Amino acid sequence: MTENIDIQRHRAVRLMADAVVTFGVLVLAYLAFDDITTDNSTDFTAEYVMLAASAMWIAVLSLRLLRIRHAKLGIASLLFLVAAMWGQRRVGQGTTPSFDPRYVAVIVAFGWTLILAIVLLRRGWALHSERKPDPQT
């Protein structure tokens, strides 16, 4: 019984930790995106590194979600990641908000990432809340 509770606790903490990291990645990606589109700098190496790191996190998280049988979240995350990577090629210095499909793809991917983080946090919290205390303690 204790082993089952420990496994459930580990899964809940993992989902909530993934949610917190995803929120952080979302903020960093947004700041990089904002800097690239609004700054007059000539070198955006740091910003592109942040975007690449964000993409790697989403890829790893998507594969992990697929592995733990959250297929819908994992597949959707991979699709939004691919769309964002496709759209990001169009986004650069001086890009203004528009209905250009590539710009929209990037913005929608940001929205999905926020939704994903919220869903992970809620699922983790629900799993943690349904955990029953061990009657022997």
d(CA 131, CA 121): 16
pLDDT band at 134 (very low <50, low <70, confident <90, very high): low
Q: Out of 2.30.42, 1.20.1300, 1.10.357, 1.20.120, which CATH number does the structure's domain 2-129 have?
A: 1.20.120
Domain spans of the chain?
A: 2-129
Q: What global pTM score does this model have? A: 0.86
23 in Cβ contact with 117 (< 8 Å): yes
Residue in 14, 23, 25, 29 with CA at minimum distance from that of residue 64: 14
For residue 123, give Cα distances in angstroms to 11, 14, 126, 127, 131.
Answer: 10, 10, 5, 6, 13
Q: Is the pLDDT of residue 137 over 60?
A: no
Rounded distance between C-alpha atoms, residue 82 and residue 112, angstroms: 12
Mean pLDDT over each residue of the chain, to the nearest integer: 89
